[in-house]
Amino acid sequence: MITGQDVKATRILAKSLFKELRGNGYSPNQILSLSSELIELVTQDLRSDQEENPVAAAVEAGSAGTWRAAL
């Protein structure tokens, strides 16, 4: 279960990473491209998990809305 603290920590991490990347000369478009690549990797990982264990994936799907909203 995702808590308010988890959401806050995620936001802090995202801001910190963004500032670090911008401080090192990455453009907003480069950061957006990186973000898209990260989303693709997570998507592939989730699909792999579902293919390996469809029962557990179905159980997790019940709480996925809360988890995804936190991201």
Q: What is the DSSP string of 4-71?
A: HHHHHHHHHHHHHHHHHHHHTT--HHHHHHHHHHHHHHHHHHHHHHHHH-HHHHHHHHHHHHHHHHH-
The total number of structural domains in the chain stands at 1
The pLDDT of residue 37 = 98
Count Cβ atoms within 10 A of the Cβ of residue 70 and give its class: 0-12 exposed, 13-18 middle, 19 or more buried: middle
The pLDDT of residue 51 = 87
Residues of the chain predicted below pLDDT 70: 56-71
The pLDDT of residue 68 = 53
Domain extent for 23: 4-70
The pLDDT of residue 52 = 87
The pLDDT of residue 62 = 61
The pLDDT of residue 21 = 98
The pLDDT of residue 8 = 95
Cα separation, 39 vs 48, whole angstroms: 14
